[in-house]
Amino acid sequence: MAESCQSISYFIIPLDKCEMPPSRTPGPLGFNDQCDPNMCAKKGDTPGSLGINDHAEPSICCFTTYTEEEVLLAATAYGEASLDNVYEEMAAIANVIVRQSKARSVSIKTLLGPANTYAFAASNGGNERFKALKKASSDKLESDKGMKDALKAARNALSGGTDYSNGAYFWDGVDLKTNYKNHPKVKKGIKFADPKHNIFGVKEKDITEVVTHWQHQDKNGKVVNGKERGKYKYTYISTAAYGKTVFWRYGDEFLQATGNRPYQ
């Protein structure tokens, strides 16, 4: 598919591999507008009143390009996702990262910095899949369906496209099953909003009901409990699942009882 030209290019797909529209608007009254001013187009006529259809006019467009931010996000989603290269799985991971970035008011580059603990695929130089996409040639990016889908997923998330995560702020992979007993989320309580989200066949986990209260100072200045604020028996509720990844957000009861920010 022909891509929009961008001012910052990271990878450039060769001209002969681009699918580009003709230089003229189709029809007897077509003119040299390249069909869409935001698209790369094939070469047109020789400039001038006697120009002929010899495709002599040079193309100045950049063809398919990816920004540094798109590549970083794509590499992270590719590295965090399963080896099955499920588009929806990578797209949902990208959705979550963009949501977290906006909620924290930081750039994706800052959120996914080398020392980050949010997405380990990008930490300390990145895992093998992360590094493979970052180092891939333009030919590899076009021929490898998984990498191409990861870049598509990144663009979808950055452009405000479909939210495959359904509002998630977190995700987990196979460690939810292999480390179930000691998994941090399991210890805090998990609930599946839809049985289809339980792709690993693990048990939902309630915790001892937590009751919180609004606090105030008594007449002696001591902080004491007042009216009940809320109560909860689990912290995380699923929002979606694809490939080998489950997506989560905080439960409404937890947020009400704690006042915790949705992204922390």
Among 224, 228, 226, 237, residue whose Cα is nearest residue 257:
228
SS3 70: helix
pLDDT confidence of residue 7: 35
Listing DSSP states for 173-185 in one string gives: -THHHHTGGG-HH
pLDDT confidence of residue 147: 97
Q: Which two tokens stand for residue 91?
A: 């797209």
The Cα 98–Cα 105 span in angstroms is 10
Which ranges of the chain have pLDDT less than 50? 1-18, 34, 37-38, 56-63
The Cα 188–Cα 131 span in angstroms is 33
Among 159, 235, 237, 229, residue whose Cα is nearest residue 198:
237
Q: To 10 degrees, the CA torsion angle through 192, 198, 200, 206?
A: 20
pLDDT confidence of residue 198: 98
Task: Report the Cα 264 to chain-centroid distance in Å.
Answer: 18
Question: Maximum Cα–Cα distance for the chain, whole Å?
Answer: 95
Among 117, 67, 116, 76, residue whose Cα is nearest residue 96:
76
Q: Kindly give the pairing relationship between strand 210-217 and strand 236-242.
A: unpaired
Q: Using the 8-state DSSP alphabet, how is residue 241 labeled?
A: E
pLDDT confidence of residue 44: 57
The Cα 192–Cα 95 span in angstroms is 20
The Cα 4–Cα 37 span in angstroms is 9
- Beta-ladder partners of 216: 224
pLDDT confidence of residue 57: 44
pLDDT confidence of residue 46: 52
pLDDT confidence of residue 23: 54
Residue-wise pLDDT for 113-158, tens only, equals: 887 778 989 888 889 999 999 999 988 998 999 999 999 999 999 9
Residue 148 dihedral angles phi and psi, to the nearest 5°: -65, -40
The Cα 254–Cα 236 span in angstroms is 8
pLDDT confidence of residue 263: 95
Task: Report the Cα 213 to chain-centroid distance in Å.
Answer: 37
pLDDT confidence of residue 16: 45
The pTM for the full model equals 0.77
Q: If you search the block for the tokens 């957000």, which residue do you land on?
A: 249
- Helix (H) or strand (E) holding 93, with range, is helix 87-104
Residues in the chain: 264
